[in-house]
Structure 1
Amino acid sequence: MKNASVYKAIFSNIAGCVFFITIFIPATAQAQTRGTVEVIKDARIDTLAAHRASLKATGTITVAAATTGYGYRVQIYNGSSRKEAYDVQSRFMNEYPGMRTYIGYTEPNYKVRAGDFRSRLEAERLMQELRGKFTSLFIIGGRINPPKPGTGND
């Protein structure tokens, strides 16, 4: 009986040493060395970045005008006829020549959407003007293009 407990004690000591050797010794033996990073790029990238920075500095380009944002559009047509979608777009553009229109196709329907409004209230104003002229009017939220400079289509 006494021999069994001695063997268990020796075995647990050996197991502990083996565990320590297999886990901690390799972790300390692996030395991390500092390396260098070499960047290979075209020289025209620096020229392009400098040109963009100069455009921003002179006010030719602004950050707000270069990016899209979240806003609203008014959907003026939803149907399966491509010809009718283009006819609705043409009719809308004749009545509102300064406002952008977009035709999208999600099988099997064409959707004609108008405007790039930053607030829902502006989209609702247009929707009220269009009542009676177009059917199935909806306000759709999503990514919009920035408004044209000098227009009231904000």
Structure 2
Amino acid sequence: MKRNYIFIVILLFCVIKTSAQIKGEVTVIKDPSIDSLILKRIAITKKTTTPVVPAKKPGTTLVDQYGFRVQIFYGSDRREIFNQQAKFKSLYPKYNAYISFKSPNYYLRVGDFRTRQEAQNFLNELRPKFPTLFIFREKINAPNLD
């Protein structure tokens, strides 16, 4: 019986010793053309991301910065979104209204505000007339500086 205990202890010692983690070295083997492809991709990306400023025509605006818009309505009924846009334009003719569609809903967002505070002030003004209002950060049309 004593012999079995000695055998079990030796067996456990061997198992523990073989399962210990040994620090190793990782060797990465890759094709050298991968590096050249990565460098080409970086070069292409740098060429296409340089900002191109188109000539500005009088009376037009450029989408060139992020700002805020107030969402005043969303729904799946196309007629209703156009009715809400007409209602808004009759109340606030100097603000732009933008309709976008992401299946299955239409979204009506208004204004081109540079700061969140401007959008919040306008949202507070709209609250009695439109029930569901949210502020979104997105690309806006730069306002005319007249």
After TM superposition, the score normalised by the length of structure 2 is 0.57
Inter-partner Cα distance in structure 1 for 2:128 and 2:143: 26
Counterpart residue type for residue 115 of structure 2: S
SS at structure 2 position matched to 1:68: strand
Inter-partner Cα distance in structure 2 for 1:85 and 1:123: 21
Offset, 1:119: 0.1
Selected match of 1:121 from 85, 108, 117: 117
Inter-partner Cα distance in structure 1 for 2:112 and 2:123: 13
Higher helix share: 1
Report the counterpart of residue 72 of structure 1 in structure 2: 68
Offset, 1:67: 5.0
Describe the superposition over 1:95-127 as per-residue Cα deviations: whole angstroms up to 9, x where unpaired.
110110000000000000000000000000110
Counterpart residue type for residue 143 of structure 2: P
Report the counterpart of residue 6 of structure 1 in structure 2: none
Contact 2:64 2:141 in 1 (8 A): yes
Report the counterpart of residue 79 of structure 2 in structure 1: 83
Post-superposition, which runs of at least 4 consecutive aligned residues in structure 1 deviate over 2 A?
none
SS at structure 2 position matched to 1:104: strand
Alpha-carbon distance change, 106 to 68 in structure 1, aligned in 2, over 3 angstroms: same
Inter-partner Cα distance in structure 1 for 2:135 and 2:63: 22
Larger Rg: 1
Offset, 1:66: 4.5
Question: Which aligned pairs between 1:26-37 and structure 2 lie closer than 5 A?
Answer: none
Offset, 1:140: 0.5
Selected match of 2:93 from 97, 101, 113: 97
Gaps in structure 1 of 5+ consecutive residues: 1-51
SS at structure 2 position matched to 1:134: coil
Contact 2:62 2:141 in 1 (8 A): no
Inter-partner Cα distance in structure 1 for 2:136 and 2:62: 22
Identity of aligned pairs, percent?
43
Inter-partner Cα distance in structure 2 for 1:67 and 1:79: 26
Report the counterpart of residue 147 of structure 1 in structure 2: 143
Inter-partner Cα distance in structure 1 for 2:130 and 2:80: 12
| Paired residue total | 91
Inter-partner Cα distance in structure 1 for 2:70 and 2:121: 10
Over the aligned positions, Cα root-mean-square deviation in angstroms equals: 2.2
Inter-partner Cα distance in structure 2 for 1:67 and 1:87: 26
